[in-house]
Structure 1
Amino acid sequence: MDALNSLNPQMVVEVNYKLRNWWIDLKRNREREIRQLLGALTYLIIVIPNPHLIRALLEFWDPVRMVFKFVDFDLAPTIEEISGFIDLPYHECEMMIPYKPLSREFLKSLGMKSNPTLPSLDLGWVHFDFLYSRFGQKDSYHSFRDEFECSVEEWETYRLNAFAIALLGSLVFPKIRGRIDTSLGYVVRDLAQREDEPRKTIVPMILAKIMRSLSVCVNGRMFFEGCNLLLQLWAIEHFYLRSDAVDIFLGYGNKIDNHPRRMVAFTAPIGFVEWQIFLIELESCRIQWKLHWLTTPNAIVRGDDRYFIELIGLKGVQPYVPLRVLCQFGQT
C-alpha cells in the first residue's frame, strides 16, 4: 500500500460548463430523443465528482482478480448494476465493436467537410471545444457554415449526435485535456440504430473501461479514463447499509438523479485520508451487498464454457469475473 500512496491519477473533477449549457439548450425540445440515445447518462452532468474516494479505492483494487479486496470481502461493479444506474439495456443486445474512423469519416458522420487543419483526427481524437463551437450553440451552424456539407435541418440531427459524442467523451470515456475519442462516433451511430435493426448495448463497454482504468492506474497510469462518476455512485451505494424501504421508495426512476435522496442519511468521509481509513476498517457486515432497487432474475455470471466473460471495451477486451461477487446478486 505504501507504493500506491504515491499514485494520484487525474480524472474528471468538474463538469465542463459548456457541456452543461449544451444539455440545457438541447433538452428543451429534444430530451426524449436524447433519453432514448443515452438513457440516464446525461444525469452524470449533475454529479459532484469525488476524486478522494476514487483515489482511496485504487489502493484496494486487485488487477489480477479484478475486484476490490477489503478486510474480509471482495466487491466489484457488475453489468447489472451499471445498467441499472444508466437505464440502458444489456439483455438480448449485441456488444458494440468500436472502430477508429479515418479523419474524413468522422467529420462526414457529422455532416462536415474534410478539414486538413485537424491533425489530431489522424491520432484518433478531437478537442471538446471543436465540437462545442460547431454544434453547441443555436447559431453554430451559421458561424461555421463553410465547414458543413449539410442543410441546417440536417445539422439539427447531427447536433444531437455531436452532443452524445461530447458527453461520452467528457464524462464516460474521458481523455486528458479535453480530448474526445473519435471512436465514439461509431458508438453513437450504433446507439442510434433504427428500430428494425438489432439493438446494441454500451453497458459492457462502460464497465470494461472502468475496470481497465482501475488496473492501469494501479500500475502507474496518471489519468483515469473510465467513468469515475459512475464508480463513485456505485461505491457509495454499497458502503451505506440501509433498510430495504429506502431503496423501495426512492429507488424507482432515475437512479443517478435520486441517488442523493437515497444516501441522505449516509455520513460520508470528507478527504482522501478519511476515505482511506474508512475503507481500511470496512467489514462485510457494514455494507449493502445487494442494491434492492436492482432486479437480477437473469444475471450474467459466467461465459458459456469458461468462468469469466470477455467484455468488448473501447480499447480491447477486458476479462470480467462476476462469480467472485455473487453476494451482490443476493447469492451466497
Structure 2
Amino acid sequence: MKVDKHLFCALTQFWNPAYSCFTFRKVDLVPTVEEYMALLQCAKIQVDRVYSRAVNAPIFLKRLMNITGMSEQWVTARIKQNRDNKCISWKNLKNIVLAHPDANKRIDVFALSIYGLVVFSKTLRHVDEAVTDLFDRLDKGVTPVLAILAETFRSLNACWRAGEGRFIGCAQLLLAWFHSHFWKVDKVSYQEEDVEWRAPWLLPDKILYRCGDFGWVPLLGI
C-alpha cells in the first residue's frame, strides 16, 4: 500500500494525545487490538498472552544467533551501537537472505527485516534490537499487535507535540485501518444517525474495553 504523505500529515492533526484517539468533531476513533489483529490476520495467536513478556528473555546477541543461524563470532562482529540501542545492518541480513543454506532461516531473516525496516523503522537501513525481541516472541505464539499499537501511539504523540517529525511505525497499516472506517457512496444522502462507525470487515467478538476500574479507557493510554 502506497503511503499518501499529505493524507497522513492531515490525519495526525486530528490525533488527541490527551485521550489517545483521533477526534473528528463528535466522533472519536482509535485503532484497537482486535482491529489490528483482524487486519494482520493473526487472530489465532494466543490472545490471552497479548500483554505477556518473558522474564528471562535472551539477549540481543543470542536472539540474532537463534534467528539467523549464524555463529556468535559472526553476529558479534556485525552488531552496531546506535545511541542507546543496538542494531544490525540490513546489508548483513540481506546476505543471509540470499545465501543461507537453510531455507527456513532465509525466510525468518527476511521476515525480521520487514519488521525492522518497514513496521518498526527506527534506524535507516538497520534492524533495531527491540525488533528482534518482538520477533523472538512471535514463535512462542505471542501476538505482535500490542507492540505495533504501542509504537504507533507513541509516535503519534511525539509528532503531534512537535508539530512535525518522522513517524516511526507502520504507516501503511494505520492508513489501511483509517480507510476501513471512511467510505463514500455517491448520490446517497445520509444523516449522522444513519452511519454506524465500525469496520465492516471486523467480525463480532469479545473486546477489551476496561482496565481495572477504568471503563472505556484505551488500554495503551494508561
* Normalised-by-shorter TM-score class: 0.7 to 0.9
Aligned to 1:12: none
Aligned to 2:201: 293
What's the offset of the Cα at 1:309? 5.3
Matched residue of 2:77: which SS? coil
Aligned to 1:120: 81
Aligned to 1:205: 147
Aligned to 2:213: 305
What's the offset of the Cα at 1:207? 1.4
How far, CA to CA, are the matches of 2:196 and 2:87 in structure 1? 39
Matches within 5 A, 1:133-172: 133-135=95-97, 137=98, 140-141=99-100, 152=101, 155-172=102-119
Q: Return closer, same or farther for 1:229/1:134 CA change in 2, 3 Å cut-off.
A: same
Native 8 Å contact 1:176 1:223 kept in 2: no
Matched residue of 2:221: which SS? strand
Aligned to 2:65: 108
Native 8 Å contact 1:241 1:288 kept in 2: no
Indicate whether 1:74 and 2:28 are aligned: yes
Matched residue of 1:235: which SS? helix
What's the offset of the Cα at 1:300? 1.3
Native 8 Å contact 2:79 2:86 kept in 1: no
Aligned-pair identity in percent equals: 25
Consecutive unaligned residues in structure 1, runs of 5 or more: 1-46, 142-151, 194-198, 243-264, 266-282, 311-317, 321-332
Q: Return closer, same or farther for 1:285/1:126 CA change in 2, 3 Å cut-off.
A: farther
Between the two proteins, the alignment pairs up a number of residues equal to 208
What's the offset of the Cα at 1:170? 1.8
How far, CA to CA, are the matches of 2:130 and 2:218 in structure 1? 23
Indicate whether 1:64 and 2:18 are aligned: yes
Q: Which has the higher contact order (CA 8 A, sep 6+)?
A: 1
Q: Of the candidates 163, 182, 188, which is equivalent to residue 239 of structure 1?
A: 182
Consecutive unaligned residues in structure 2, runs of 5 or more: none
TM-score by length of 1: 0.55
Aligned to 2:41: 87
Native 8 Å contact 1:238 1:287 kept in 2: no
Q: Return closer, same or farther for 1:188/1:215 CA change in 2, 3 Å cut-off.
A: same
Native 8 Å contact 1:61 1:218 kept in 2: yes
Q: Return closer, same or farther for 1:239/1:97 CA change in 2, 3 Å cut-off.
A: same
How far, CA to CA, are the matches of 2:14 and 2:168 in structure 1? 18
Matched residue of 1:171: which SS? helix
What's the offset of the Cα at 1:290? 1.2
TM-score by length of 2: 0.80
CA deviation profile, 1:286-321 (whole Å, cap 9, x unmatched): 9661112212331111123333354xxxxxxx426x
How far, CA to CA, are the matches of 2:40 and 2:53 in structure 1? 20
How far, CA to CA, are the matches of 2:153 and 2:218 in structure 1? 13
Matched residue of 2:22: which SS? strand
Amino acid at match of 2:17: P
Matched residue of 2:110: which SS? helix
